Structure 1
Amino acid sequence: MNSNRIKLIDSLRGFSLLGILMANLLIFQYGIWGKDEINIDTLSKLDVFSLQFIKIAFESTFLPIFSLLFGYSLIKLVESIKKRRNKSRWHLIRRGIGLLVIGIIHSTYIWEGDILTFYGLMLFVLLPFIHRKAKTLLIWSAILVVLLGVLSYGENVSDKTEQAEMQQFIEETNNVYANGTYMDILDYRKNAMPPGFEDPIFIFFLLLLSPIFMLPMFLLGMAMAKRQYFINPAQEKRSYLLGWLFFPVGLVLKLLAYKAGLVAYSAIFTQVGGQLLAIGYILIFSFLYSKFSNKFIFTALESMGKLSLSNYLMQSIICTLIFYGYGLGFYNHLGVFYSIILGGIIFCIQCGCSILYVRFFRRGLIEHLLRVWTNLSLSGNIRKSAHNHMDNSNLKL
């Protein structure tokens, strides 16, 4: 199976892990809710610039990249299964369940900023789209982008009571995560609920609407896979130049999200701009890959991408040990600029370890376990169906 891997996709996946780490470092240091309530007046000018850089260049942009790659890989998985079996439904259901289990374990016992649970749930949302034509997927993706803009319009206004409650919750969270033991943080994570999230109806609608915000990128990735995009980078090089159109448009929209007079459009600019910027990153990266794929940086990113699940989980373990009270205790102390430096160091170390690892092993441990469960095979490979095996035997006779 490794011989059939698309190297550009692996490199893109490695690249997306860099952006996800940079965005997540705000959560590791300030909390899921605290990262959007950082008091700018307490930061140095360098930290203020670094904060703006992360929010514009990374936040709401690299998760869409990962979503597109997830949709792309989902179609390639279906194609691989169909080469060996007649149906892929149960493989995909098991894969979704596997991601859900890993995500729940991750969010419960390691770090609450997990995305794997969301991807496990999204796989079930994507099932009805798997056998649709690429054109249909593109149309649905465009429709949902428009719907996304409609749903995002408006200024999120909270009264003083809600603001005070949220501030108190953030202060409690900061104290527990900065000074608490592992069991203190585990207990707090299980029982503490941010203001406004106690209402089950609100939670229901949040879960119902959340897939819409990322679904366009999943569907776009699926459409690209059906059209065999990214398989021949050298031949597709000219089409990658479109990235230079998406990049500035997405960047301008994200910059506008921070303009004071456009508060009502802030969420629209952030979401839509983030996805357009993500497409720009993907195409520009692909263009560079088509010219310099033999360079060391792309080899490193490819190795990182092959072990994306293991590396994502390892980032959580490393960063919680650095920031939380049961580790080095740098929570809310390191600063935004130095967290970027830290992120670069962590990522480089992971790239080096990944290069060494793939020289000796085909898959990461977590990747292998997920494949074993998905394919019900100890080797992790997709087994041929009995029907296909009998057909092949008859042909030999």
Structure 2
Amino acid sequence: MEQQTKRIHLVDSMRGFSLLGILLANMLIFQYGLFGTDKLNLFPAVAGNSIFYEVTVILIEGSFMPIFAFLFGYSLLKLKEGLVAQGRKPGWALSRRFLLLMSLGTLHSVYIWEGDILIYYGGLGFLLLLFLNRKPKTLLVWAIVLMSLMGLLGFISDSPSDPSIIEMDKETLTYVQETVTLYPEGTYSEIKHHRNTESPIKEDPVFLIALLLLAPLISLPMFLLGIYAAKKSWFQNPDMESPMYAKGALIFITLGIGLKLLKFVFPGMVLSGGPVLSIGYIMAFALIYSKLMSPTWRSRFAAVGKLSLTNYLMQSVICTTIFYGYGLGWFGKIGVSAGILLAVLIYSVQLFASSWYVSHFRIGPVERLLRMGTYFTLSGKVKRRIS
């Protein structure tokens, strides 16, 4: 029981830590829009923007969402095992959970913010059902093969002379130029209408289909590695596993950053350094957790992780209120470095607010809703089936 408690606390803390990186990466989208993050020249110039932008892209962007995906897969297997132990059929319960995630994501993307991930996670969950009963070796092979394929695709550069790419870029440029003036001054209804009707992706069905087909190839490996880690009982004993964490952190952080830096050598190529770097971050956090982190800070990160869905949605509410016209209207105005400081401030508030919340309540409001839908009970607790 003690080892299980250590594992749960570490996983919760790691999930809480990943939300900091997700907020730092999403801050670019909150500040410049989903399509404006690589077109900063269209926004008011702020000193140091380019330097802090490149640092964020290399160290943060694409390297923390995979941690969340890894933990999603890890927790999914534990949830399935818990349902089986209670005599329940996991397929129906998990399907309800995925449908509820997709519903929450739809509401989130339509009414709050365009950078939602919940729809995608819910949809991919149905695919993950095919892998929950697979052997660890099978999961590892699938993860490595898919990650390698994504790496090979990165060596196929976009051709700037491709007519479809040129046309897409024109539509994107027009869309971003509209957001530059609309988002910091527009009303809630104006911004919502623009986001839901004028998006370049929604106006290009071919590109959207291609994106939907490639998306699982990009992120599925981390989900599968999470299931693999759960089957292999990773994080069961953090103190004993610390040598593995140290080696993994050194190898994967070095390799991940190296892959990301290759874009400066081969412009236009998208290499899969993000997931590799995320594995390094996972190992580094586990090492710090087991050797350096005090019990107080462990509990704070764990509290954020226990309320991960609530905190994720609150980040969207807070940041859209700060940056959009119906709030402070800071969209595109404060710069990347100030955005990083703002993200750290918001996350710091969540650290202490989450700690207070879990000391008074057992579960977060959105997490309770998700459990009610998963277990189909008003209490949000699984009922043991008596055979």
TM-score normalized by the length of structure 1:
0.91
Q: Is structure 2 residue 242 aligned with structure 1 residue 240?
A: no
Q: Does 1:202 align with 2:204?
A: no
Distance 1:182 1:313 in 2: 17
| Deviation, structure 1 residue 73 | 0.5
Deviation at 1:125? 1.2
Contact 2:16 2:308 in 1 (8 A): yes
Query: Which residue number in structure 2 is paired with residue 373 of structure 1?
Result: 373
Q: Is the 8 A contact 2:74 2:228 kept in 1?
A: yes
* Residue 267 (str. 1) matches residue 251 (str. 2): no
Cα distance in 1 for partners of 2:208, 2:42 equals 30
Partner of 2:236, secondary structure, is coil
In the alignment, does 2:296 pair up with 1:296?
Answer: yes
1:247-266 paired onto structure 2 within 5 Å:
247-257=253-263, 259=264, 261-264=265-268, 266=269
Q: How do 1:22-33 and structure 2 match up within 5 A?
A: 22-33=24-35
Higher helix share: 1
Match of 1:190 among 192, 196, 200: 196
Instruction: Call closer, same or farther: CA 1:252–1:153 in 2, change over 3 Å.
Output: same
In 2, distance between residues paired with 1:233 and 1:371?
28
Q: Any conservation in 1 of the 2:71–2:226 contact (CA below 8 Å)?
A: yes
Question: Residue 293 of structure 1 contacts residue 299 of structure 1 at CA under 8 Å; is this kept in 2?
Answer: no
Name the aligned partner's letter for residue 263 of structure 1: P
Q: Map 1:173-184 to 2 at 5 A.
A: 173-184=179-190
Among residues 150, 153, 159, which one is paired with 1:151 in the alignment? 153
1:171/1:291 CA distance change after superposition, 3 Å = same
Question: Structure 2 unaligned runs (5+)?
Answer: none
Q: Residue type matched to 1:88 in 2?
A: P
Q: Give the CA deviation at 1:200.
A: 2.5
The Cα shift of 1:43 comes to: 4.0
Q: Give how far 1:288 is off.
A: 1.1
Indicate the residue corresponding to 1:224 in structure 2.
Answer: 229
* Counterpart in the other structure of 1:101: 103
Separation in 2 of the partners of 1:337 and 1:362? 36
C-alpha displacement of 1:40: 9.1
Any conservation in 1 of the 2:24–2:60 contact (CA below 8 Å)? Answer: yes
What is the SS of the residue equivalent to 2:40? Answer: coil
Moved more, 230-239 or 324-333: 230-239
Hey, what does 2:287 align to over in structure 1? 287
Q: Distance in 2 between matches of 1:288 and 1:150?
A: 33
The number of equivalent residue pairs is 379
Let me know the Cα RMSD of the aligned residues.
Answer: 1.8
Once the 2 structures are TM-superposed, how far is the Cα of residue 42 of structure 1 from its aligned partner? Answer: 6.1
Q: Taking structure 1 as reference, are residues 138 and 161 closer, same or farther at Cα in structure 2, changes over 3 Å only?
A: closer
**Range 229-238 or range 216-225, more displaced:** 229-238
Q: Percent identity?
A: 44
Aligned-residue offset at 1:205: 2.6
Cα distance in 2, alignment partners of residues 56 and 347 from structure 1: 21
Match of 1:92 among 94, 100, 121: 94
| Pairing 1:319-338 to 2, within 5 Å after superposition | 319-338=319-338
- The Cα of 1:293 is off from its aligned counterpart by 4.3
Q: 1:237 aligns to what SS in structure 2?
A: helix
Matched, 1:214 2:219: yes
Q: Shift of residue 152 of structure 1?
A: 2.7
Runs of 4+ with deviation above 6 angstroms: none
Moved more, 4-13 or 308-317: 4-13
Aligned counterparts of 2:209 and 2:105: Cα–Cα separation in 1: 19
The structure 1 residue matched to 2:122, chosen from 108, 120, 123, is: 120
Rate the CA distance shift 1:86–1:327 in 2: closer, same or farther, 3 A: closer
Per-residue deviation, 1:30: 0.4
Does the 8 Å CA contact 1:217/1:275 hold for their aligned counterparts? yes
In 1, are the aligned partners of 2:16 and 2:301 still within 8 Å (CA)?
yes
- TM-score, normalised via structure 2 length: 0.94
- Mapped to 2, the partners of 1:313 and 1:168 lie a distance apart of 29
Shift of 1:295: 3.8
Q: Is the 8 A contact 1:40 1:48 kept in 2?
A: no
Point out the more displaced range, 161-170 or 25-34.
161-170
Which consecutive unaligned segments of at least 5 residues does structure 1 have? 388-397
Answer whether contact 2:70 2:225 (CA < 8 A) is retained.
Answer: yes
